[in-house]
Structure 1
């Protein structure tokens, strides 16, 4: 199996940050998401790169009536109420025209009609699997709602990105969530990086220690943890839902760290090259709203990465795949 390049995007607009920021707090980034999606599609098509848009189910709604029609009865009962998005529905606009921060049907149709990319799920309501109070049964109802709201568009959701990466493929406590995914026909998910500074279970009290945050930031610019690439046909043997682990988040352009931008891009390009030479997978991800500010600078970085992909494709047969596309390839090797 040749090496593969996977890009997954957590497509969420305000639903991904509602518990941390209001629309006004983050307005520039959120306002520009639609334009960012257009540019992502244009640039990826130019370089023959496939994208997986892991999309929050709320965004599929035509209007509020449509959204309310799909809401599951068994909603998450988080102990911390600020994580529950459902009370916010009372205050959002009626449709995408009124409220582009909470609906995205026109963009979803654009991605679908392009046919080069995949639309996966980011759960229906940006569901947090590791928060106290919620249950596996509530997650099941959430995924069912995500499948149901996508179905009329002819979209069969086959891949999932767990919000805030709240999944651990090797922990027994998380297996029931993957079993729910399998039940609903989902064949792949994005797991955490294998390096320990990323792969700390969310429930651990030291998960958010600044020490680990600092190491993760440093690792974006210099190789603290190595390339984080994977021979996916080995790590997914005998698994019904394929784990396609993250290799790296493409951090947003930061004016204060402008002098480090070349190192960040170089770090990604070197890991991609390692994956291409060793027939492994490199999985890059970020959120479209990350590109909503300093948009040109972020796209300049992305284009440099795409140019490297083109070179690796020609030299080593390094191939871009959606999450479901690669999952099909992996499953064919299991037989």
Structure 2
């Protein structure tokens, strides 16, 4: 039985993740940088034998507009605020392949050892927004499964709710549509119901990047017990926030906090779950990649000293289900044995 685990999940979105915030004012170079960075991130993961889950917006699987339309569900979200809908965005702005489609990057993810392709819903679906319905959500999940299975032969098993809008009433639908594990929010109050963005929650989430303001976010595998007819909820521990170009102290303190939490998990035989958006690295690619390599070096030290394992969400769920495997078996994933 492993002593501790380290999980990474990434919310892979490109423009689908922020279209409702930026409209057609997005910077194409920002997403061009993201496209270049993803192969670099994958290379770092493979070199360091890191397993990760890429929770990917299903629309990114499409090659072109015709394919996007073919796989889009008939029952689309009917948000009261129409600008939240990806489909309404496309009606007004069209489909720019450079920022909205990425099947070649999905193939790179699948070709890299240890990487799990997960779902971030098909249309960046907001389950806590007024106007949408459970049946619309079900059709969205079905669209993601269909395009993934038909194009890449992969049944998606891990799900991350966009904007961390985890609607507990929708969890049975997730399991019914094939998702056996879901990333949940940290247990602290300022991570709950994130659609209500009052200033106190934002302040506490920001402050928590530098020093403890709530309960610790490590967790034990024995505590991960799914309710009947629901997927396993795997708590997030920390978001790796973007580099600050103007505040080096900000960068140093927040990275040190993550490393200290990783160390605490390793020593306590606990689990630690780090997540971020690949496009967050695009604001300062060189510095972001340097930080990632620093985190990987720290993980290597924890692996050597404490036997910490790198697991994607699917692996972690299997481990929580008492399907244990050894460190040597994990390494065989990367050696191809």
TM-score of the superposed pair, with normalisation by structure 2: 0.90
Deviation at 1:110, TM superposition (A): 1.1
Instruction: Return the match for 1:244 from 221, 234, 238.
Output: 234
Stretches of structure 1 that go unaligned for 5 or more consecutive residues are: 168-173
**2:153: which partner in 1?**
154
3-state secondary structure, aligned to 1:284: strand
What is the alpha-carbon distance in structure 2 between the residues aligned to residue 224 and residue 278 of structure 1? 20
Gaps of 5+ in 2: 325-337
Moved over 6 A (4+): none
Question: CA separation in 2, counterparts of 1:223 and 1:26?
Answer: 35
Contact 2:8 2:52 in 1 (8 A): yes
What secondary structure does 2:184 align onto? Answer: coil
CA contact (8 A) 1:159 1:323 kept: yes
Alpha-carbon shift at residue 62 of structure 1 (Å): 1.8
Asked whether the 8 Å contact 2:61–2:103 carries over to 1, the reply is yes
CA RMSD of aligned residues (A): 1.7
Distance 2:224 2:146 in 1: 31
Match of 1:19 in 2: 20
Q: Contact (CA 8 Å) 1:14, 1:23: kept in 2 or not?
A: no
Q: TM-score, normalised by structure 1?
A: 0.91
Match of 2:49 in 1: 48
1:28·1:293 contact (CA, 8 Å) conserved in 2? Answer: no
- The structural deviation recorded for 1:26 is 3.6
1:170 corresponds to: none
Partner of 1:184: 177
2:243 and 2:215 map into 1 onto residues whose CA distance is: 22
How much has 1:8 moved relative to structure 2?
A: 0.6
Match of 2:74 in 1: 73
Q: Quote the offset at 1:279 in angstroms.
A: 1.5
Give the C-alpha shift of residue 213 in structure 1: 1.3
How many pairs align?
Answer: 320
Map of 2:328 onto structure 1: none
Conserved? CA contact 1:3–1:319, under 8 Å: yes
Q: Say if 1:121 and 1:146, in contact at 8 Å, map to a contact too.
A: yes
Corresponding residue number in structure 2 for 1:202: 194
Match of 1:175 among 162, 165, 168: 168
CA contact (8 A) 2:5 2:309 kept: yes
**Cα pair 2:59 2:123 within 8 Å, conserved:** yes
2:216 is aligned with 1:223 = no
Partners of 2:227 and 2:125 lie apart in 1 by 27
Deviation at 1:162, TM superposition (A): 0.2
| Among candidates 195, 203, 210, match of residue 214 of structure 1 | 203
Separation in structure 2 between the aligned mates of residue 193 and residue 63 of structure 1, nearest angstrom: 37
